[in-house]
Amino acid sequence: MARTIRDAQHTTCAATNFKFDATRTPSHLVTRAGVECLEAIFQSETALGRGEDIFRLVPGKEGPIGWTFHTALQELKGFEEKTGWNRPKGDSYARHQDRRTEKPHWQ
């Protein structure tokens, strides 16, 4: 993993593929830190991985202006968490079942 990060430092890590996150609350008006703003939650991608992002707009003199832009890398490409259909199955994953029912050696 360290090699992947090191090698990616030689490339541009600019975020791309922005899209609204269909599993999150759609864009809506909220109050954050006492300020009413329009909040949008979306997903993006970089050379290293995938992220979740938040963008907030507040009223300005000539129209909405950006107030907050937060990005958070959620997973590294090539090292995705094994969940759902990708979760490990079979004997190699369950081989420690006997140890769970054994009496500890120190008792």
What value does the mean pLDDT of the chain take? 80
Residue 10 reports pLDDT greater than 60: no
**Average pLDDT of 79-106?**
66
Q: What is the rounded radius of gyration, in angstroms, for the C-alpha atoms of the chain?
A: 22
- Token pair belonging to 2: 């360290």
SS3 per residue for the chain: CHHHHHHHCCCCCCCEEEEECCCCCCCEEEEECCEEEEEEEEEEECCCEEEEEEEEEECCCCCCEEEEEEEEEEEECCCCCCCHHHCCCCHHHHCCHHHHHCCCCCC
pTM, to two decimals: 0.61
Span 61-85, pLDDT tens digits: 999 999 999 988 888 888 888 777 7
